């Protein structure tokens, strides 16, 4: 499968990305804390968006399926707590609505990075959509797609890069984490 890399050092895009990532983390922390406060559950369940869908909180992990929080019901087929039907579940539906994460890919789309790419499946005539790997390193945003961008959502306005440049930046980005891991292992 073909891979394509892009980068941008546009200050507005970098600032928007940082703000969106911070907001996404804050929303996750808020959902975790709110689930603890709600009680009778093991935490919020997030479905990671595919195609053109954002990540979203879809329910709560059941602590005891026979004793859900008020306004929630256990759905065995999905193995999670979801809002009860009707008026009884309105507070739970409101809870879900107020604990959704920020859509970082929508923010990046506003700054010229398509949400996904398209790759043709061999022999089937079908195609597969995939989302980019995105990270920031040294004030530059990097993205890598598997598959072509054209025909899905338009062209990327970021600068095309060699895959070797992308992987070098990714390695440099991950190096501090790897160094910390090695130090921790040495001290253990």
pLDDT tens-digit series, residues 140-188: 999 999 887 754 456 789 999 999 999 999 999 998 776 777 777 777 5
pLDDT at 124: 59
pLDDT at 49: 74
pLDDT at 125: 65
pLDDT at 163: 96
Count other C-beta atoms under 10 Å from residue 14's C-beta: 16
94, two tokens? 């409101």
Global pTM value: 0.82
pLDDT at 186: 79
- Could you list the mean pLDDT of each consecutive 10-residue stretch along the chain, which spans 188 residues? 91 98 93 95 87 85 96 97 98 97 93 83 66 94 85 75 96 82 73
Element (H, E) at 34: helix 11-38
Q: What is the DSSP letter of 85?
A: S
Which pairs with CB-CB distance under 8 Å and at least 24 residues apart come from 166-171? 166/5, 166/7, 166/142, 169/7, 169/135, 169/137, 169/138, 169/140, 169/142, 170/133, 170/135, 170/137, 170/142
pLDDT at 2: 85
> Is the C-alpha dihedral spanning 101, 105, 108, 110 positive or negative?
negative
pLDDT at 159: 95
pLDDT at 117: 82
């Amino acid at each position: 499968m073909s891979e394509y890399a892009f980068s941008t050092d546009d200050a507005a895009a970098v600032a928007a990305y940082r703000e969106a990532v911070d907001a996404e983390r804050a929303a996750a922390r808020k959902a975790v804390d709110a689930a603890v406060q709600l009680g009778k559950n093991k935490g919020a369940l997030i479905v990671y968006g595919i195609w053109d869908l954002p990540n979203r909180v879809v329910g709560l992990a059941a602590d005891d399926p026979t004793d859900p929080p008020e306004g929630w019901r256990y759905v065995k087929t999905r193995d999670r707590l979801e809002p009860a039907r009707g008026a009884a579940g309105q507070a739970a539906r409101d809870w879900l609505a107020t604990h959704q994460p920020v859509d970082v890919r929508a923010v990046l789309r506003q700054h010229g990075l398509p949400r996904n790419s398209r790759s043709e499946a061999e022999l089937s005539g079908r195609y597969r959509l995939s989302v980019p790997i995105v990270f920031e390193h040294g004030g530059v945003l990097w993205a890598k797609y598997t598959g072509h961008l054209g025909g899905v959502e338009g062209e990327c306005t970021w600068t095309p890069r060699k895959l070797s440049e992308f992987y070098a930046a990714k390695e440099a980005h991950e190096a501090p984490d790897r160094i910390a891991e090695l130090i921790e292992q040495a001290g253990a």
